Amino acid sequence: MNTSRADAVPYLSTEELFREVNERIVRLNQEFESPEGEYLCECPNSLCAERLRLTLAEYEAVRRDPCRFLMAPGHERVGSIVLEQNASYEVVAVPVSRHLTIVH
Q: Which positions lie near Zn ion, rule CB under 5 A?
A: 41, 43, 48, 50, 72, 75
- The residue among 8 and 72 lying less far from Zn ion, judged by its C-beta, is 72
CB of 54 to Zn ion, least distance (A): 14
CB of 18 to Zn ion, least distance (A): 8
- The residue among 19 and 75 lying less far from Zn ion, judged by its C-beta, is 75
Rama region for 3: left / alpha / beta (φ>0; ψ in -120 to 50; rest): beta
Read off the DSSP letter of residue 102: P
CB of 62 to Zn ion, least distance (A): 14
- The residue among 50 and 60 lying less far from Zn ion, judged by its C-beta, is 50
Read off the DSSP letter of residue 16: H
Read off the DSSP letter of residue 103: P
Q: Do residues 15 and 43 lie in contact, with contact meaning Cβ atoms separated by under 8 Å? A: yes
Read off the DSSP letter of residue 44: S
